[in-house]
């Protein structure tokens, strides 16, 4: 193809609008004298050719050739092929864009599935438009929903409608939905972005450390606070994780200090690590 005169002309000039034949560039006798013709087109019985070029991407052309062995192409054929060219080019661009979008969406899908949160997108009628694998798992484990359902469970739908009822008011309040189990807690939050509605699911599973801390006389919530303090979380971070106010965390800390016989957060964290080490000692 490096010796094809039409392809060479299009590459050099950068102009490839319309359809071209051999005679437009070199003339029929000159083209038929080329090794390309002798080795390729003559064995095929090709005596007439009409070509168009489509830009696949920058500096990359795709050539389409119509070949005939007897009757030459007419001017009507040339015009028809030239008319089709921009439509084929546009279709190719759309295919590239679609492929790129599908690739991007697949990457986002993979990323979302690796997150600790579950994400669910709702339709304007509050049905499930799309849900990540983790969100589907939460719907199954906490509400016993079927894997392919498009309906929200009644309790979740009721909470959603209550939150949506505050939209448009002076101070919309979107309180999270919290479901408690013996060893886990699921928090559901609502996000509204223009016309889109999303639900975010986040599960916190009680760690074995919490059971060890409760043996010192702490309540479940105090043990949770101590667990996060031992992991280096500040008061504000702990409050956000547990969905309480920082002042509530401070009150829990006062009770923890008293129960453990320590004076501050640092000593409480050290004491917590001592408790865990002792529990692992045979």
Which pLDDT does position 228 carry in this prediction?
86
What is the structure's pLDDT at 80? 94
**Fold type of domain 118-205:** Beta-Lactamase (3.30.450)
Query: Rg of the chain over CA atoms, in angstroms?
Result: 35
Which segments of the chain belong to CATH 3.30.450.20?
A: 118-205
The predicted structure's pLDDT at residue 60: 81
Q: What is the pTM of this model?
A: 0.48
pLDDT given at position 1: 67
Residues of the chain with pLDDT under 50: none
pLDDT for 227 equals: 87
- In this structure, which topology does domain 208-280 adopt according to CATH? Arc Repressor Mutant, subunit A (1.10.10)
Locate CATH 1.10.10.10 in the chain: 208-280
User: Tens digit of pLDDT for each residue in 147-184?
Assistant: 889 999 999 999 999 988 877 655 556 788 988 775 67
């Amino acid at each position: 193809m490096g010796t094809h005169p039409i392809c060479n002309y299009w590459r050099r000039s950068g102009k490839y609008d319309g359809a071209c034949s051999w005679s437009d560039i070199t003339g029929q006798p000159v083209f038929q004298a080329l090794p390309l013709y002798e080795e390729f087109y003559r064995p095929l019985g090709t005596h007439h050719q009409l070509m168009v070029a489509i830009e696949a991407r920058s500096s990359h052309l795709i050539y389409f050739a119509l070949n005939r062995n007897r009757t030459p192409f007419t001017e009507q054929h040339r015009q028809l092929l030239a008319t089709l060219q921009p439509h084929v080019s546009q279709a190719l661009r759309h295919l590239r864009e679609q492929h790129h979008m599908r690739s991007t969406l697949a990457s986002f899908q993979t990323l979302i599935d690796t997150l600790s949160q579950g994400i669910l997108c709702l339709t304007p009628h509050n049905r499930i438009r799309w849900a990540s694998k983790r969100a589907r798992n939460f719907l199954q484990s906490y509400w016993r929903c079927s894997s392919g359902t498009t309906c929200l469970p009644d309790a979740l739908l009721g909470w959603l409608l209550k939150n949506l009822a505050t939209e448009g008011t002076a101070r919309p309040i979107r309180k999270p939905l919290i479901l408690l189990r013996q060893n886990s807690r699921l928090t559901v939050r609502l996000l509204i972005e223009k016309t889109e509605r999303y639900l975010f699911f986040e599960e916190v599973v009680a760690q074995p450390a919490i059971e060890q801390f409760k043996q010192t006389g702490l309540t479940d919530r105090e043990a949770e606070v101590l667990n996060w303090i031992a992991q280096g979380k500040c008061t504000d971070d702990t409050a956000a994780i547990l969905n309480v106010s920082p002042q509530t965390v401070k009150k829990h800390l006062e009770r923890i200090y008293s129960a453990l016989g320590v004076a501050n957060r640092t000593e409480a964290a050290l004491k917590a690590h001592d408790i865990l080490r002792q529990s692992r000692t045979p």
